[in-house]
């Protein structure tokens, strides 16, 4: 109560909200809310009376919308146990509803047993290295709005593949697997490494043994484990598609641009790791 009175008096003297917050040891947002509430009540005394009444007695526990719960549980099943951040994205895309990630995990905890923060990730073995082509291929995705680029790179030869898709479903990952492995990577490699995204689960996991002896999932938040494909993704943005957001209808035009760039990438573009040579010999 005292801080509210002091904040009001300091603001009346023309002191900025940031300075008031610093002097009173509170957030600037709190000062703004108090000032707005005082104006809404017409005078300081009326707000103080309302504030004191609101603070007295036990606070009613906030009830979460049952419809929200059903939507989140259904989305988690639909998108193969994806994380809270991705559920937040799908909830906004499919229902136009925005909910904080903390609330999403609280809702999930009512039905599912979630991994605690203190529990470490399961060991996944050493990061695969390559001494020859077709030993290790890394795969990833790049978000371009309504267009998603599925990317792959042979970490030794630097040969790469890109497929533009309208969504991030497991069916899209499967389509990319069938498109790139026979044509670009000779049909079979020792190891394919992906991240844990839902686009690399479900149908994708069912068919991946046809194209590799081992499938490794990179640890979350460890960008260095996917360093080769991450570097390729930056080149794709910087040299071809940029940082714009595209619509699904633009996929045919964008695909042509990507194919032209991939031809340059494979036959003309020099690579430092290859002694300033392109990944493939020049076509005559």
CB atoms within 10 A of CB 43: 10
- Residue 217 belongs to some domain of the structure: yes
In which domain, by residue range, is 25 found?
Answer: 2-55
- Residue 212 belongs to some domain of the structure: yes
Q: What is the pLDDT of residues 213-271, one digit of tens each?
A: 999 999 887 878 999 999 999 999 999 999 999 999 999 999 999 999 999 999 999 88
- Residue 128 belongs to some domain of the structure: no
The answer to whether residues 172 and 235 belong to one domain is: yes
The answer to whether residues 75 and 10 belong to one domain is: no
The answer to whether residues 270 and 145 belong to one domain is: yes
Three-state DSSP class for residue 256: helix
Q: How far is CA 188 from CA 23, 109, 193, 196, 204, in A?
A: 66, 40, 13, 21, 15
What is the total count of domains within the chain?
A: 3
At 284, the pLDDT band (50, 70, 90 cuts) reads very low
d(CA 273, CA 132): 13
CATH of the domain at 248: 3.30.420.10
Q: Strand pairing of 212-217 and 136-144?
A: unpaired
- Residue 123 belongs to some domain of the structure: no
The answer to whether residues 173 and 100 belong to one domain is: no
Asked whether the beta carbons of 154 and 137 are under 8 A apart, the reply is yes
- Residue 88 belongs to some domain of the structure: yes
Neighbouring residues of 23: CB distance < 8 A, sequence distance ≥ 6: 10
Q: What is the pLDDT of residues 53-85, one digit of tens each?
A: 876 666 655 556 888 889 998 998 888 778 888
pTM: 0.60
- Residue 117 belongs to some domain of the structure: no
What is the percentage of the chain residues whose pLDDT exceeds 90? 48
The answer to whether residues 216 and 253 belong to one domain is: yes
The answer to whether residues 27 and 144 belong to one domain is: no
- Residue 170 belongs to some domain of the structure: yes
Q: What is the pLDDT of residues 93-127, one digit of tens each?
A: 999 988 888 889 888 988 887 765 555 556 677 78
- Residue 282 belongs to some domain of the structure: no
Q: What is the DSSP letter of 110?
A: T
């Amino acid at each position: 109560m005292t801080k509210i009175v002091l904040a009001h008096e300091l603001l009346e003297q023309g002191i900025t909200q940031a300075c008031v917050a610093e002097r009173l040891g509170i957030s600037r947002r709190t000062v703004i809310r108090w000032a707005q509430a005082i104006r809404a009540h017409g005078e300081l005394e009326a707000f103080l009376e309302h504030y004191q009444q609101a603070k007295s007695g036990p606070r009613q526990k906030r009830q979460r919308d049952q419809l929200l719960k059903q939507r989140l549980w259904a989305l988690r099943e639909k998108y193969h146990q994806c994380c809270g951040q991705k559920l937040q994205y799908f909830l906004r895309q499919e229902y136009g509803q925005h909910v904080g990630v903390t609330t999403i995990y609280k809702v999930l905890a009512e039905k599912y047993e979630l991994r605690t923060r203190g529990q470490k990730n399961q060991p996944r073995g050493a990061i695969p290295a390559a001494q020859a082509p077709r030993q290790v291929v890394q795969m990833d995705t790049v978000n371009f709005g309504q267009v998603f680029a599925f990317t792959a790179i042979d970490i030794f030869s630097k040969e790469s593949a890109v497929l533009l898709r309208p969504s991030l479903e497991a069916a899209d990952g499967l389509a990319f697997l069938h498109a790139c492995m026979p044509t670009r990577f000779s049909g079979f490699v020792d190891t394919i490494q992906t991240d844990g995204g839902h686009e690399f689960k479900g149908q994708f996991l069912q068919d991946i043994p046809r194209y590799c002896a081992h499938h490794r999932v990179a640890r979350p938040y460890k960008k260095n484990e996917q360093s080769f494909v991450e570097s390729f993704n930056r080149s794709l943005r910087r040299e071809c598609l940029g940082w714009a957001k595209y619509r699904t209808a633009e996929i045919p035009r964008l695909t042509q641009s990507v194919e032209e760039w991939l031809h340059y990438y494979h036959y003309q573009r020099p690579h430092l790791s290859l002694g300033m040579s392109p990944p493939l010999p020049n076509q005559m």
